[in-house]
Structure 1
């Protein structure tokens, strides 16, 4: 198929585009910033541009990975989030419907599921999060606009029969967390593979599976994260003493961490359950926390990317959201 990939210059796009081509698809990349997989530079908020790309490139399906993200809140006004994340998604959906497409894959985020109460970990135990969790109360403009875009996908399916797959990805960014300074970047990412992270490679693979399964499923919302070793029954203990729970599941982890100079989280306030993606799509992330321990044990490279100097292409000279 001829796939339109938005966000083709971004972190996910640089992994997803080659995977799509390897699977036999032809890719047209659209982004506001130049990149090796970007064929058209422009904004999805520009409906005329979207229509022109569909017509000139014979687009047959869309993977919509382009967006303004949470770190962009300090860089762009709220209107920019609405223009890109909401209007841009609507432009793509309407163009896909007009072209008679049978599938549309939307990259969403688990961030929209995190209310202020969950973010501040007010509960007495860890919150178990899956596709049935709610009510959805996004805590910032990023979450609000991504949730609105999800609902536009749902309406496109209900009103026009467009098969839409909404993928709520947990963290896979390579840079340091913009709100945490300790533990270190690699240590934090390793810890998060227990409960709120996946690799960018797994995120890309999930999009390929969703693209293939979309016509059969029709509409679905799927949380994507590395498989957690924890159970719902662990939630109270995870909030009270996460290190003890981790040690029960991975007896040699403490020694491996100590040799690296790493530390376990003292408390875990939320856990993402990605089992529905396995049950419905047959997708399961290949990399989990056990892979981290294997790498530490065998002294091989860590199984995830960490680049504290990473800068989004749209923030580099020549990038932008207009």
Structure 2
């Protein structure tokens, strides 16, 4: 297929485009920043550019992975999030319909499912998060605009029949967390594979599965995250004292962590359940917490990417097509 990939210079795009090419697809990358897999430097918010690209290339499919993300909140005004994450999504959807594309995959985020209450860890039990969770109360402009993008996807599918699969990915960024610095980045990422993370390789594989299955599915919204070892019945115990629950599933974890100088989570406040993706797509993330423990036991490399110095290409070399920066932004303002 001829596939348009937005966000081709980003962390996901740099893995996704080669995987699509390797699977036999002809790929055109679109991003506001230059990159090894980006043929077109420009914004999805530019409707004229989007229409010209579809008219020229006649894309069979779209993977819309480009967006402003949560760390961009300190760099860009809310209007930029509306322009890119909402209007840009609508531009791609309408162009896909107008030019007869056969499928559309939208990269969304589990972040839009996290309210202020969940973020603050309120409640007596870990929140079990699956696709049935309501109401959705995103806590920032990133989540609000990604949810709006999802609603546009549903609307366009209902009105036109365009097959669309929405993938709510959990964390797979390589850099340090921009708000939590209590643990080392590697320790935190390892812990998160228990309940709220996947690898970029698994994110890519999930996108390829969604691209393949979209016409058969029609429309669906799926959480993509490493399979959790926990059961919903363990939610209260996870919130009270997570190490005891972890020990029932992985008796070796405490000793392996101690040898590494790592710390297991004392409390887990949320669990992402990706089992629906396994049922609908036949897809299950290959890397989980057990893979981390095997690596620690064998002295092997950790099975996930960690790069404390990773910087978004949008920050390194913003192009003339980039959204307008927030007036208060400075490179040191990200915390």
Fold agreement, TM-score > 0.5: yes
Find the counterpart in structure 2 of residue 252 from structure 1.
252
> 1:151 and 2:151 equivalent?
yes
SS at the partner of 2:207? Answer: helix
Distance 2:286 2:203 in 1: 10
- Matched ranges for 1:136-147 at <5 A: 136-147=136-147
Distance 1:157 1:317 in 2: 36
1:58 deviates by: 2.6
> 1:182 and 2:193 equivalent?
no
SS at the partner of 2:150? Answer: helix
SS at the partner of 1:292? Answer: helix
1:55 deviates by: 1.6
SS at the partner of 2:3? Answer: strand
Distance 1:133 1:35 in 2: 37
Distance 1:171 1:275 in 2: 17
Distance 2:87 2:267 in 1: 39
Q: After the TM superposition, which segments of 4 or more aligned residues of structure 1 sit over 2 Å from their partners? A: 317-322
Distance 1:66 1:215 in 2: 22
Distance 1:225 1:134 in 2: 19
TM-score, normalised to structure 1's length? 0.99
Distance 2:69 2:128 in 1: 24
Q: Which runs of 5+ in 2 are unaligned?
A: 324-335
1:73 deviates by: 0.5
Distance 2:93 2:9 in 1: 21
- Matched ranges for 1:168-179 at <5 A: 168-179=168-179
Distance 2:281 2:151 in 1: 21
Find the counterpart in structure 2 of residue 128 from structure 1.
128
1:109 deviates by: 0.1
Find the counterpart in structure 2 of residue 73 from structure 1.
73
1:237 deviates by: 0.4
> 1:308 and 2:300 equivalent?
no
Distance 1:259 1:83 in 2: 48
Find the counterpart in structure 2 of residue 119 from structure 1.
119
SS at the partner of 1:11? Answer: coil
Find the counterpart in structure 1 of residue 56 from structure 2.
56
SS at the partner of 2:12? Answer: helix
SS at the partner of 1:297? Answer: helix
The count of residues paired between Structure 1 and Structure 2 equals 322
1:273 deviates by: 0.2
Distance 2:308 2:81 in 1: 25
Cα RMSD for the two superposed structures:
0.7
Q: What do residues 267-313 of structure 1 show as CA deviations (whole Å, max 9, x unaligned)? A: 00000000000001100000000000000000000000000100000
TM-score, normalised to structure 2's length? 0.95
1:321 deviates by: 2.3
> 1:161 and 2:158 equivalent?
no
1:57 deviates by: 2.1
Distance 2:274 2:109 in 1: 13
1:67 deviates by: 0.1
1:315 deviates by: 0.7
Find the counterpart in structure 1 of residue 217 from structure 2.
217
Structure 2 contact 58–99 (Cα < 8 Å) conserved: no
Structure 2 contact 170–198 (Cα < 8 Å) conserved: yes
Q: What do residues 3-37 of structure 1 show as CA deviations (whole Å, max 9, x unaligned)? A: 00000000000000011011110100000000000
Distance 2:140 2:182 in 1: 24
Distance 1:210 1:47 in 2: 26
Distance 1:102 1:2 in 2: 10
Find the counterpart in structure 2 of residue 44 from structure 1.
44
Distance 1:102 1:59 in 2: 9
Summarize the Cα distance change of 1:165–1:68 in structure 2 as closer, same or farther, 3 Å threshold.
Answer: same
> 1:233 and 2:201 equivalent?
no
